[in-house]
Every structure is written in C-alpha cells, then in structure tokens.
C-alpha cells in the first residue's frame, strides 16, 4: 500500500494511484503475491481517497458510505465524507448560479467550496477545477486580474488541466499580454496532442487561437520597437475600470 499512498501525495499522480489500487484489488499487479491482502477496509479506504483525489466526488462518497456501513475506519471516513459532500454541494450551487447569470453568487459558492480542506494534497484536482470555475465567474464580472490569478492557481495545482491553460490564454489575450497567451496556447496544444483519445476539433481551435496570438504578439512587438515603449497592456481591464469612466470614478 505504500506505493499507492505515495502516489496519492504526488502532484498529478492521483489517477495513476487509483489505477494501481484497482489493479491491486483485482489481482492484476504483475509479480504480486496471491497471499497479500488486497481487499478489506484498508484498500477500500485507499480507493475512496484515490477517487477523492481524482475529483470523482460522487464515487468517493459512495465508497466512503460503504466503509461507514461496515463500521470500519469510521472516524476518518466520516470526516472525508463530510468534506466531499460539502465540497460537491458548494460547487453544485456555484454551477447553478453561473448558469443563471448570477456571477457574484457563483463566485461566492466556489469560494466556499475552496475553503473546505484548503491546502490538502488530496484536494488538488478538485481545487483546480473550482479555481477555474471561479475564474469564469470573475471574468464575467470584468474582474480580469482576479480571474487570471485563479487560472494561475488552477494551472499550478493541475499542470495538465487544459481548461486552466485555455482560460488563462483567453484572459491574457484580453489583457493584451500576448506572450503569455502564446505560451499557454502552445502548452494547451501540446497537452491536447499528447492526450489519449485525441480531440481533433479542440486541437484545430487551439491552433487557430495560437496563430492569432502569435500574430498579435508580433504586431505588439512591432509597435513597441517603433515607439520604443513597453508592451501596451489593456490597463483599463487590468484595473477593472470602464474606458469611458471619468477621472473621479
């Protein structure tokens, strides 16, 4: 079980840990002794944590409820179960508010979800998704810098999370930070091309966006070279100020 425990604590290895746990419990690990106890509460507890770490909250809840029903590992299972249920509830509320266009309420619900088990290594995948969702709500509220910060957090928590790179690139384009947009879109395209079950339409769109970002970066650099000035970021959006606002505002 030590290998599974270690994988669960490593960034980006939760799915690998879950696969290993499932292989162990199915007796599919090469060279493993048939006498080893790959069943029972310890492995069910490991699997529940693997599901939780992989952001499969509904499945994790079901596994934890099974542990509770057996009366094994009750205290730890109860704590994680309560957290998973609360996180799913807040995230669900955020999604509902977002669909209705209630972006302030959506951002607040996502923030509530993030406050549960903040900093827990097992919550990285979940936190990355929620940060990215909150970024969408903040973007809709024209809070571009706050949205960008959430995208950065999501990308740090889950470097292979394509939606975080895509959303950060979109925000960078609006803020006229074209070099960052190019970097993110190159990373996005690399992840899409390397992924199993390739999505050709997503790759095509990423290539189009990358081409546009590179063109914008080149044009920006030409202006900077001509005027001997720094890159022209969209400072109104950086400061969340309406371009038509008065000096007093």
pLDDT value for 119:
61
Whether 1 maps to a domain, the answer reads no
- Domain of 170? 160-249
pLDDT of residue 78: 82
- pTM score over 0.85: no
In a domain, 89, yes or no: no
Q: Let me know if residue 19 belongs to a domain.
A: no
Number of domains in the chain: 1
pLDDT at 11: 77
39-93 pLDDT per residue, tens: 677 788 888 888 998 888 889 888 888 887 776 656 777 888 888 999 999 999 9
Residue 165 makes CB contacts below 8 A (sequence gap 6+) with: 155, 184, 185, 187, 188, 191
Mean pLDDT, range 166-179, rounded to an integer: 96
pLDDT class of 3 with cuts at 50, 70, 90: confident
């Amino acid at each position: 079980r030590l290998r599974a425990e270690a994988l669960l604590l490593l960034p980006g290895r939760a799915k690998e840990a879950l696969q290993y746990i499932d292989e162990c419990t199915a007796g599919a690990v090469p060279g493993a002794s048939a006498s080893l106890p790959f069943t029972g509460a310890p492995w069910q507890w490991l699997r529940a944590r693997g599901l939780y770490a992989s952001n499969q909250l509904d499945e994790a809840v079901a596994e934890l409820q099974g542990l509770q029903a057996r009366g094994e590992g009750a205290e730890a299972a109860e704590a994680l179960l309560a957290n998973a249920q609360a996180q799913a509830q807040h995230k669900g509320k955020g999604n509902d508010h977002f669909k209705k266009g209630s972006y302030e309420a959506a951002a607040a619900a996502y923030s509530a979800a993030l406050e549960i088990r903040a900093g827990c290594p097992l919550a990285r995948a979940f936190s990355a998704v929620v940060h990215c969702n909150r970024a969408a709500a903040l973007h809709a509220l024209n809070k571009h810098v706050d949205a960008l910060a959430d995208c950065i957090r999501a990308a740090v928590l889950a470097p292979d999370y394509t939606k975080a790179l895509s959303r950060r690139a979109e925000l960078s384009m609006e803020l006229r930070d074209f070099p960052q947009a190019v970097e993110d879109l190159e990373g996005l395209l690399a992840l899409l091309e390397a992924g199993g079950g390739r999505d050709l339409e997503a790759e095509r769109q990423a290539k189009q966006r990358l081409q546009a970002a590179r063109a914008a970066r080149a044009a920006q650099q030409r202006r900077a070279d001509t005027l001997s000035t720094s890159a022209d970021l969209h400072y109104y959006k950086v400061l969340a100020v309406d371009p038509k606002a008065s000096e007093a505002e």
